[in-house]
Structure 1
Amino acid sequence: MILSQFDEHSVFSQLNAFGHQKVVYCSDPDTGLKAIIAIHDTTLGPALGGTRMQLYKTENEALQDALRLSRSMTYKAAISGLNLGGGKAVIIGDSRLHKSEALMRRFGRFIENLHGSFITAEDVGTTPKDMEYIRMETKFVTGVPESIGGSGDPSPVSARGVFMGIKACLKEHFGNDSLAGKSVAVQGIGHVGENLVGLLRNENAKVYICDINEDRLIQIAKKYGAKAVANNSLFDLDIDIYSPCALGATVNTETINRLKCPIIAGSANNQLADEVVHGNMLLEKGILYAPDYLINAGGLINCYSEIAGFSKKKTLQMAENIYEATRRVIQKSKEEKIPTIEAANKIAEKRIADIRKIKASY
């Protein structure tokens, strides 16, 4: 393991701020591998989190992403009732240019050396095939192709969870959870976004979509009967639901002031640019926000099911439980007059604290 441009004070202060247990820097000049594995908390079980590959501007930016995302995974597992901790891995590089079998297998060796404290899966920039390469070096990986006994693409389950979260918000705001005639703007139509568009259109929702890939945007609009719109006009639409399904921080001071919808519910991670500032802004403006790590937990549920050996039917049932979990968060938010993200955090933190006390008594 090689530490490059390592600022001891900076890294350790960031670890303390996020409450992480461990951060591992992985470097292999022969394959070009530069990666960071962040393990946030293992109170409930081994840390599980996807491996994201993208070209970060700096190593510190990559570290920040790993820290934020791994913390979210801890809360996601806790609030979903799963016996897992939170972790995340990031590989620094362009997945279209720098990824190779050798690089992924070398990364698998680093995971193997953590002896099961971290289990990975696919994420942005990685695929089930990449997980298959990692599997050649370690058993601590999920989301491998169905052809070799894995659960395959988790995006249908992820979309189902987001869909149930949307319906829970509709129930709260409108008194019923029917999507017929409701308008939804889906930002980002990757695998999860496309599956979500299909579910929404099946219930006769009016769906607006935007994506940086214009060819795919036209293709998906035609396939599902959705309306393609420019990304810069999305926040000015008069709609019922804004569903961010791309990258994070799209819910910020500027966009909140522009939004005309009563509900925000999508699959993107870290949607709030600042949890405290923007959670409170949404509360004050009367916009109901479905915490991202709660309703996008379907992918994690899918991975957990692969580890536990659950059937696809059982996996989908677990994803549909996100409906009631979202309702509980909304109820706590109303009772305590706090933002929904704070309510979700409290529920997750209580479960972790309760289990930690039990383990302390062993």
Structure 2
Amino acid sequence: MRLLDVPEELTAQRLVICSDPDTGLRAVIAIDDTTLGPGFGGVRMRHYPTVGRAIDEAQRLAAAMTVKNALAAIPYGGAKSVVLTGEGRPDRVRLMRRFGQFVAELSGAYLPGVDMGTTPADMRLMAEVGADTTCADEDPAPWTAAGVFHAISSAVRFELGADSLAGVRVLVQGVGQVGEALAHQLVAAGALVDVSDVDAARATRVAAAVGGAVVDVDRALTHRCDVLVPCAVARVLTRDTIPGLRCSIVAGAANDTLDDPGCADLLAAARVLFVPDFVANAGGVRFVHVRRGGGGEQEVEAAVAEIGGLVTDLLETASSTGLTPYAAAHARAVEVLTERRAATPPPGVAVVATAVSSS
């Protein structure tokens, strides 16, 4: 790792660099905030040009997880980890078990789950060496999709005045596990769904299954539709791409959709309603929380359906205050964190209960 690769700005409460030459492991764990509980966030596996870029993404996504978990009212802080892929094909079993050992050494401060590039099988490998993991027995992807579905339904009702999705034109950008499941849910509700994906064969298969068209990846953001649903890579909405949007609503499962916070203001100026990704895609974290508490499918369904109500509430708040939905959501999360900090003694301060007897 070259010194110049390391970012100057360190925002995480705790940053762990993991390196093991025997397995080829290079990873970063960013724990952003533990006000509400241990840092909870997925393990992302992908290529990064430098370790510094990996640190940047881990910190940025961990901060979004802090907001996501606060708004979901679950007892976890925000965290994220990234495992860097490189040349060659390392033994994945050894790689994930070694990463699990690093996570276990944090003594519960970080609770990992699946994310882009990782699977429940990876979580099981990590658990075998002592890491407390989530999503080892059940993939949260269908529940993430269900949460986005509720978010879209609420946004359509708020912005378009439609009580259902019947006839609403939707473009799902990225039809991996979440995007494909969501496409089927939307079609079942009467939406007209087109798809776009870098994997042309997958796009063709999903489009045929939902009765929609395949949109070239280079034209996805300029495709005319009512709702654009980003479910692939991060930061697709930039100062350059926003002027070309031809949709009324953006609501999707992809993390970190905005290239920078100022893009929220550009979307508002362009009269495009943006549902913050950390609100829309919270079905997975809600699923994990319910399951860890022993809840069944009905409890999960109820928790995920609450996303629709939260979206409506935030959109109404934004409308009445003149804030963007993005700003309204962040303000709400800050309120939650501030209240918890005010109610929690600082480290090193003992709270002593005194018994008072009456005479």
Both proteins in one fold, TM over 0.5: yes
Deviation string 1:219-257 (CA, Å, 9 cap, x unpaired) is 111122121110112233221001100011111122211
The aligned counterpart of 2:355 is none
What's the % identity of the aligned pairs?
33
User: Which residue of 331, 334, 343 maps to 1:349?
Assistant: 334
Residues 1:246 and 2:232 are matched in the alignment:
yes
Deviation at 1:216, TM superposition (A): 0.8
Deviation at 1:156, TM superposition (A): 0.7
Report matched runs for 1:132-211 at 5 Å.
132-145=124-137, 152-211=138-197
Deviation at 1:63, TM superposition (A): 0.5
TM-score between the two structures when normalised by the length of structure 1: 0.92
Deviation string 1:130-173 (CA, Å, 9 cap, x unpaired) is 1110010124100002xxxxxx1101100010000001111111
Report the Cα distance in structure 2 between the residues aligned to 1:169 and 1:272, rounded to whole angstroms. Answer: 18
User: Which residue of 35, 38, 42 maps to 1:46?
Assistant: 38
Residues 1:360 and 2:307 are matched in the alignment:
no
Structure 1 unaligned segments of length 5 or more: list them.
146-151
User: Which residue of 108, 114, 121 maps to 1:129?
Assistant: 121
Change (3 A) 1:301 1:156: same
Report matched runs for 1:189-268 at 5 Å.
189-268=175-254
Deviation string 1:276-309 (CA, Å, 9 cap, x unpaired) is 2x11111111111000000101111122223222
Q: Classify the secondary structure of the residue corresponding to 2:241.
A: helix
Change (3 A) 1:97 1:106: same
Report the Cα distance in structure 2 between the residues aligned to 1:23 and 1:139, rounded to whole angstroms. Answer: 18
- The answer to which of 91-100 and 172-181 deviates more is 91-100
The AA in structure 2 aligned to 1:356 is R
Q: Classify the secondary structure of the residue corresponding to 1:49.
A: strand
- The answer to which of 309-318 and 158-167 deviates more is 309-318
- The answer to which of 210-219 and 93-102 deviates more is 93-102
Deviation at 1:6, TM superposition (A): 4.8
User: Which residue of 254, 265, 271 maps to 1:280?
Assistant: 265
The AA in structure 2 aligned to 1:355 is R
Change (3 A) 1:221 1:91: same
The AA in structure 2 aligned to 1:220 is V
Deviation string 1:52-105 (CA, Å, 9 cap, x unpaired) is 111111111100110011001000000111111000010111599335111111
User: Which residue of 43, 46, 70 maps to 1:78?
Assistant: 70
Report the Cα distance in structure 2 between the residues aligned to 1:119 and 1:7, rounded to whole angstroms. Answer: 30
Contact 1:54 1:95 in 2 (8 A): no
Report the Cα distance in structure 2 between the residues aligned to 1:313 and 1:335, rounded to whole angstroms. Answer: 34
The aligned counterpart of 2:92 is 100
Residues 1:63 and 2:48 are matched in the alignment:
no
User: Which residue of 111, 117, 138 maps to 2:103?
Assistant: 111
Report the Cα distance in structure 2 between the residues aligned to 1:203 and 1:219, rounded to whole angstroms. Answer: 20
Report the Cα distance in structure 2 between the residues aligned to 1:235 and 1:134, rounded to whole angstroms. Answer: 38
Deviation at 1:340, TM superposition (A): 1.0
Report the Cα distance in structure 1 between the residues aligned to 2:161 and 2:235, rounded to whole angstroms. Answer: 29
Contact 1:283 1:338 in 2 (8 A): no
Contact 2:101 2:131 in 1 (8 A): no
The aligned counterpart of 2:9 is 14
Deviation string 1:254-275 (CA, Å, 9 cap, x unpaired) is 2211112110000001111111
Report the Cα distance in structure 1 between the residues aligned to 2:318 and 2:201, rounded to whole angstroms. Answer: 41
TM-score between the two structures when normalised by the length of structure 2: 0.93
- Structure with max Cα Rg: 2
The AA in structure 2 aligned to 1:201 is V
Q: Classify the secondary structure of the residue corresponding to 1:26.
A: strand
Deviation string 1:310-351 (CA, Å, 9 cap, x unpaired) is 212211211110001111111121122111111100001110
Contact 1:45 1:85 in 2 (8 A): yes
The AA in structure 1 aligned to 2:321 is E
Aligned positions, number: 347
The aligned counterpart of 1:303 is 288
The aligned counterpart of 1:5 is 2
